[in-house]
Amino acid sequence: MYRIIKKTVLNPTVVRMDIEAPLVAKKAQAGQFIILRTDENGERIPLTVADTDPGQGTVTIIFQKAGATTDRLAEMEEGDSLCDFAGPLGRPTETEGLKKAAIVGGGVGCAIAYPVAKKLYEQGCEVHAVVGFRNRDLVILEDDFRAVSHKMKLMTDDGSYGEKGLVTDALRALIESGEKYDEVIVIGPLMMMKFVCALTKEYGIRTTVSMNPIMIDGTGMCGGCRLTVGGKTKFACVDGPDFDGHQVDFDEAMKRGGMYREFERHAREANCNLLTKKEAE
């Protein structure tokens, strides 16, 4: 069993947990993920490793309440234990040799971007972070990013915090001001990654994207994370989750991702109805 050591609610829909998993903590690297089950009857879901503390034997996960399982996970408290916590899985993000990089994160994707920024910073790379959220209430990990960034831009769609605008606005401004990046690493909603990649392609800047958002099973068996990269079929969970952003067919990935929305809606409604019945009892 994998005990929840610490639980922090980051915003109304996003929760951070430190899980006691010493073997995973010892091996996990930035960009990799784990698969967990809340209980013996729960479904398996992949979540990216947001941080590790090998000394304490803990692994940090950050997740958004977006379905039946993440809702159930968010209800668990410190001292509770997860049934399964397997990993690390996936290929670590390649950071060797980078002298200056821009890390771009959107929404809960910042939980995936942060460990990459931290790893680069610890390796002596000059890190510029660009993070974006819809509004002030949804901002997460601001202090964490500032601690591992030489320059940081925080954007909100409505201008309620930081600067008003999109991450592409901030990244373009940095590039046009003369900043030269060895690589841009972007993690967030598919639409955001698509437009960041279109921008960096204009300037010929190598760009890596994490296709973690489309993973479902996490083992390559379900086919839900199948995507086309450079005209070839790849699977985000076993071939990635990192890929050359200029080679990814984002339109195809977004279309496939929408296939499961109705199923997820029904599963979440069933879970909510079950909780209501329990409360009534």
- Do 76 and 104 share a domain, yes or no? no
The answer to whether residue 23 is domain-embedded is yes
Residue (of 108, 151, 106, 114) closest to 131 by Cα position: 106
The answer to whether residue 69 is domain-embedded is yes
Q: What is the distance, to the nearest Å, from the Cα of residue 140 to the centroid of all Cα atoms in its chain?
A: 12
The answer to whether residue 266 is domain-embedded is no
The answer to whether residue 24 is domain-embedded is yes
Compute the half-sphere exposure of residue 84: CA atoms within 13 Å on the CB side of its CA. 16
In total, how many domains does the chain have? 2
pLDDT digits (tens, 9 = 90+) for 3-35: 999 999 998 889 999 999 999 999 999 888 899
> Which residues, other chains included, contact 100 with Cβ-Cβ below 8 Å and sequence gap of 6+?
125, 126, 128, 179, 180, 181, 182
C-alpha separations of 268 from 68, 254, 274, 280 in Å: 4, 21, 10, 18
pLDDT digits (tens, 9 = 90+) for 93-135: 888 899 999 999 999 889 889 999 999 999 999 999 999 999 9
The answer to whether residue 280 is domain-embedded is no
pLDDT digits (tens, 9 = 90+) for 171-228: 999 999 999 999 999 999 889 999 999 999 999 999 999 887 766 665 666 666 777 8
Full domain range(s) for residue 14 = 2-89
CB-based burial, 34-71: b 16+ in 10 Å, e otherwise? bbbbbeeebeebbbbbbbbeeeebbbbbbbbbebbbbe
- Do 28 and 123 share a domain, yes or no? no
- The enclosing domain of 79 has a CATH number of 2.40.30.10
